[in-house]
Amino acid sequence: MASDATTADTVSPPRALFDTRQALLLAALTITWGLNWPVMKAGIGDFPPLSFRTLSMWLGTPLLWLALRRRGVPLAIARRDWPALAGLTLTNMLFWHVVAINALAVLSSGRAAILGYTMPIFAAVWGVVRYGDRLQTRHAAGVAAAAIGVALLLWHEFARIAGRPIGAIGMLVAAAVWAIGTQQLRRSRLNAPILAVVFWMTCLTTLAMTLLACLFEQPRWHAPGTVTWLAAIYNAVLIFAFANPLWLVMARRLPPMASSLSIMLIPVLGTVSGAWWLGERLHWQDGAAIALMMVAIGSVLWPSKAAATRQRA
């Protein structure tokens, strides 16, 4: 029998208001994810990107297991659900981790964050195309704003002599596949708590990335330096063992407005912290793209008046 906390994670409707503790946790999660973009960029500065991500996941997965066991989350997955779980792993984690970390190797951390968080816009479009969701006028305006922002960044990447537009395109493809996975996860009928699903997706992704790192990066392996170790530990503790599972719990309890603000601020923090910490040069295209992406994500995630009324009811 699942604990009360686990049951609440899977069935509790979002609350209309959130208390001070939840607000502080949400702020901590936003800062953690925003700062992680320059942290990852620093971690792969002199270390193979797939191997860095794999190292982080090997360190973080046992911590995630301990956290879930402490919460009393049942981790059993029915045999009939494993094929569906494998499919969700591919679109929600594996493709993202493989492509995004390689794209980050040739992009600035801020630009990678901006492009990576086009995911909610892709998810909205995919919902219309694949599942017949209704695209409201403000959603269409948001998609247009995101397209303009992406075009600005791609234009600048193509215009730079030393630019690597393949990195920007790869990040967009990774975001699009993640969006497909998000829609699939929302509609999945796996008979297991969402945190158990995330744990096993993390395990499968770790094993697959280990194999890919061995196949493609083994000749480049060397002892990680201090910066790489610190970045890997940051990801293991704060991303895989703290931020990811805690967000899945909080996202079911927070009002949509809070979730929207959190997601919108992550690429802003990634861009600003990358410029401050790594000395990445910002261009006007980055600032314009941030503004356009915030408009786009807000138009997709911000609750309508009708939804807000239902939340308060």
User: Per residue in 184-243, pLDDT tens?
Assistant: 887 888 899 989 999 999 999 999 999 999 999 999 999 999 999 999 999 999 999 888
Band (260; pLDDT cuts 50, 70, 90): low
Q: What is the spatial distance between Cα 224 and Cα 219, in angstroms, rounded to a whole number?
A: 14
Distance of CA 34 to the CA centre of its chain: 10
Q: Does position 309 have pLDDT exceeding 60, yes or no?
A: no
- Residue 2 is predicted with a pLDDT of 37
Mean pLDDT of 127-138: 75
Distance of CA 95 to the CA centre of its chain: 12
Q: Output the pTM of the full model.
A: 0.79
Most confident of 78-92, 240-254, 261-275: 78-92
- Residue 27 is predicted with a pLDDT of 80
Band (5; pLDDT cuts 50, 70, 90): very low
- Residue 166 is predicted with a pLDDT of 85
- Residue 263 is predicted with a pLDDT of 66
* pLDDT, tens digit, 9 for 90 and up, residues 39-56: 999 999 999 999 999 999
Q: Are 77 and 200 in contact (CB under 8 A)?
A: yes
Q: Does position 24 have pLDDT exceeding 60, yes or no?
A: yes
Most confident of 135-149, 214-228, 280-294, 297-311: 214-228
- Residue 95 is predicted with a pLDDT of 97
Q: Does position 257 have pLDDT exceeding 80, yes or no?
A: no
Q: Does position 139 have pLDDT exceeding 70, yes or no?
A: no
Q: What is the spatial distance between Cα 167 and Cα 2, in angstroms, rounded to a whole number?
A: 43
* pLDDT, tens digit, 9 for 90 and up, residues 25-35: 878 888 898 89
Task: Annotate 249-268 with DSSP letters as a single string.
Answer: HHTTTS-HHHHHHHHHHHHH
Which tops the pLDDT comparison, 163 or 212?
212
User: Which ranges in 218-304 belong to alpha helices (H)?
Assistant: 226-234, 244-250, 256-277, 284-301
Q: By percentage, how much of the chain surpasses pLDDT 70?
A: 75
Q: Does position 256 have pLDDT exceeding 50, yes or no?
A: no
- Residue 8 is predicted with a pLDDT of 38
Q: Does position 82 have pLDDT exceeding 60, yes or no?
A: yes
